[in-house]
């Protein structure tokens, strides 16, 4: 597979990098203690046309592919992982509608998501289940042309700011994973409450909410696909989203690597810069090699996701697993090169160390990725 970027891909990369360097990088260090950060990030993404990036032009979007999305996300995350995560959660809802939405649902909701009149989120996880999707407790009971949804969804990225949430709930409790259905819930029309916003270790510029749906009445027309299609939809969306978490990992790893290079050239020990010491040079060489290897896996998975043919769960899981673990390792090495300064809040590496840790957890833990990969190998 060829990974040389074509002219349009290079343009997407250049434009995203300029946007990230001009508008995001200087804000990223304020993400930790700024309550308005998330809304400001959304506004920046909106103004620069990113909210509708993967929405077809006929529905008000930019008509770009999943591969373009990954290229842009890498640059955004290199400047600010919180903004990358906000961008990602919005697109989870978009992917749901693109994959299983009817023409009417696409016409109604995609333009609202493209313009930023609605901000998306993906509500699958619950307090008692994240990895084991089939055992969600949320219920959706059909009555006179509506479903009544009762659910408490946990750790929902964009939770506090989202106005269009794709909610997964059981329509048939006896049918296991085949009893799960997905619904478009519009906060303005159907209502739900944000019971809690989490206080997190990293990506503190994002809003992570607990969403409560209490007797929430949603018209039958808002169901995505058929009753029972929800589990499959969630898996299909995660297959497409995991390479984009990989892109977040690439961005963070790249930022940490660049910080380590800069610091090692400035810091003098034993009479010469750190960058002249063999131990540092070997560490930098290993970091760059790992990042490149991760990039190849992420780009391969993103190209497969863009082509959209067949199943690419294994490649997608490999990309997320490897790149998130590389990000962890690279940021750790970069912090070590910074020595005591790396542990201090004045240095960006301290935030990157906290920020990157989520990458091995959300959108499927590393353990889940290993299950998906081994399941595919042993089939
Ligand atoms: N695409 C399409 N269909 C898929 C699929 C995919 N990627 N993965 C599974 N399916 C289908 C299977 O074909 C099977 O279909 P049938 O009902 O026709 O038999 C069905 O879904 C069940 O598949 P499987 O038996 O593999 O499911 P498991 O219950 O074993 O669960 C894991 C699989 C654990 C991999 C899944 O639950 C998972 O990915 N969990 C992690 C969820 C996650 O990432 N949560 C994070 C929060 S979301 S931000």
| Atom 41 of ligand 1, nearest CA residue | 131
How far is the C-alpha of 165 from the C-alpha of 119, rounded, in Å? 8
- Residue 2's pLDDT is what? 53
Does residue 351 have a pLDDT over 60? yes
Q: What is the mean pLDDT of residues 105-121?
A: 98
Q: What pLDDT, in 10s, does the model give residues 163-220?
A: 999 999 999 999 999 999 999 999 999 999 999 999 999 999 999 999 999 999 999 9
Instruction: Give, in order, the Cα–Cα distances in Å from 266 to each of 67, 72, 148, 275, 284.
Output: 37, 30, 61, 8, 15
Which of 133, 305, 319, 324 maximizes ligand 1 atoms within 8 Å of its Cβ, making it the mutation to test the pocket? 133
| Atom 35 of ligand 1, nearest CA residue | 372
Q: Is 212 in the pocket of ligand 1 (CB under 6 A)?
A: no
| Atom 8 of ligand 1, nearest CA residue | 235
Q: What is the mean pLDDT of residues 302-324?
A: 95
> Percentage of residues in the chain with pLDDT exceeding 90?
96
Q: Is 362 in the pocket of ligand 1 (CB under 6 A)?
A: yes
Q: What is the mean pLDDT of residues 73-92?
A: 98
How far is the C-alpha of 30 from the C-alpha of 178, rounded, in Å? 44
Instruction: Give, in order, the Cα–Cα distances in Å from 374 to each of 35, 302, 340, 378.
Output: 41, 20, 40, 6
CA of 228 to the centre of ligand 1 (A): 13
How far is the C-alpha of 18 from the C-alpha of 65, rounded, in Å? 20
List phi, psi (to 5°) of 30. -90, -5
| Atom 3 of ligand 1, nearest CA residue | 232
Quickly state the pLDDT bin for 309 (edges 50, 70, 90): confident
Q: What is the mean pLDDT of residues 141-170?
A: 97
Question: Please, what CATH class does the domain formed by 231-377 belong to?
Answer: mainly alpha
For residue 246, give the nearest of 311, 293, 179 by alpha carbon.
Answer: 293
CB 148: neighbour CB atoms within 10 A? 16
Q: Is 178 in the pocket of ligand 1 (CB under 6 A)?
A: yes
Quickly state the pLDDT bin for 64 (edges 50, 70, 90): very high
Q: What is the mean pLDDT of residues 52-59?
A: 98
Q: What pLDDT, in 10s, does the model give residues 19-50?
A: 999 999 999 999 988 889 999 999 999 999 99
Instruction: Give, in order, the Cα–Cα distances in Å from 153 to each of 55, 124, 166, 192, 279.
Output: 26, 7, 11, 11, 47
Does residue 1 have a pLDDT over 70? no
CA of 309 to the centre of ligand 1 (A): 18
Q: Give the side-chain half-sphere CA count within 13 A for 70.
A: 31
Q: Which CATH number fits domain 7-115: 3.40.640.10, 3.20.19.10, 1.10.540.10, 1.20.120.530?
A: 1.10.540.10
Q: Which atom of ligand 1 is nearest to the CA of 122?
A: 49
Active site residues: 363
Q: What is the DSSP string of 174-235?
A: GGGGGGEEEEEEETTTT--EEEEE---SS-TTS-EEEEEEEEEEEEGGGEESSTT-HHHHHH
Q: Is 364 in the pocket of ligand 1 (CB under 6 A)?
A: yes
CB 328: neighbour CB atoms within 10 A? 19
- Residue 308's pLDDT is what? 84
Domain boundaries, the chain: 7-115, 120-226, 231-377
> By mean pLDDT, which of 29-38, 182-191, 224-233, 268-277 is the weakest?
29-38
Q: Is 231 in the pocket of ligand 1 (CB under 6 A)?
A: yes
Q: Which atom of ligand 1 is nearest to the CA of 92?
A: 49
Does residue 3 have a pLDDT over 90? no
Q: Is 308 in the pocket of ligand 1 (CB under 6 A)?
A: no
Q: Is 85 in the pocket of ligand 1 (CB under 6 A)?
A: no
Domain 120-226 has CATH 3.30.70.980: no
Q: With 0.85 as the threshold, say if the pTM is over it.
A: yes
Q: Is 130 in the pocket of ligand 1 (CB under 6 A)?
A: yes
């Amino acid at each position: 597979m060829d990974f040389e970027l074509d002219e349009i891909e290079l343009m997407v990369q250049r434009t995203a990098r300029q946007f990230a360097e001009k508008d995001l990088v200087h804000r990223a260090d304020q993400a930790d203690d700024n309550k308005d950060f998330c809304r400001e990030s959304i506004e920046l993404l909106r103004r620069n046309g990113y909210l509708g990036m993967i929405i077809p032009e006929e529905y008000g979007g930019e008509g770009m592919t999943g591969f373009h999305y990954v290229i842009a996300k890498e640059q955004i995350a290199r400047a600010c992982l919180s903004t990358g995560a906000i961008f990602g959660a919005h697109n989870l809802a978009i992917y749901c509608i693109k994959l299983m939405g009817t023409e009417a649902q696409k016409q109604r909701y995609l333009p609202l998501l493209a313009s930023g009149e609605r901000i998306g989120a993906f509500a699958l996880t619950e307090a008692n289940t994240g990895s084991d999707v089939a055992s969600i407790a949320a219920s959706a009971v059909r009555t006179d042309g509506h479903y009544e949804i009762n659910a408490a969804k946990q750790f929902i990225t964009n939770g506090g700011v989202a106005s269009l949430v794709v909610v997964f709930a059981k329509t048939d409790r006896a049918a296991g994973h085949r009893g799960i259905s997905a619904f478009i819930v519009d906060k303005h029309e159907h209502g739900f409450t944000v019971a809690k916003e989490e206080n997190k270790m990293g990506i503190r510029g994002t809003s992570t909410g607990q969403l409560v749906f209490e007797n929430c009445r949603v018209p039958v027309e808002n169901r995505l696909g058929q009753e029972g299609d929800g589990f499959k939809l969630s898996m299909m969306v995660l297959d497409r989203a995991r390479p984009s978490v990989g892109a977040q990992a690439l961005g963070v790893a790249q930022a940490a690597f660049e910080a380590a290079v800069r610091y090692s050239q400035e810091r003098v020990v034993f009479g010469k810069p750190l960058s002249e010491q063999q131990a540092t040079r070997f560490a930098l060489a290993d970091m760059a090699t790992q990042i490149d290897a991760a990039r190849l896996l992420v780009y391969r998975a993103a190209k497969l996701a863009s082509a959209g043919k067949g199943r690419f769960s294994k490649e997608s899981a490999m990309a997320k697993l490897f790149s998130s673990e590389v990000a962890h390792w690279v940021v750790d090495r970069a912090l070590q090169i910074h020595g005591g300064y790396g542990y201090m809040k004045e240095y960006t590496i301290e935030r990157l160390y906290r920020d990157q840790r989520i990458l091995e957890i959300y959108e499927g833990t590393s353990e889940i990725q290993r299950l998906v990969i081994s399941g595919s190998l042993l089939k």
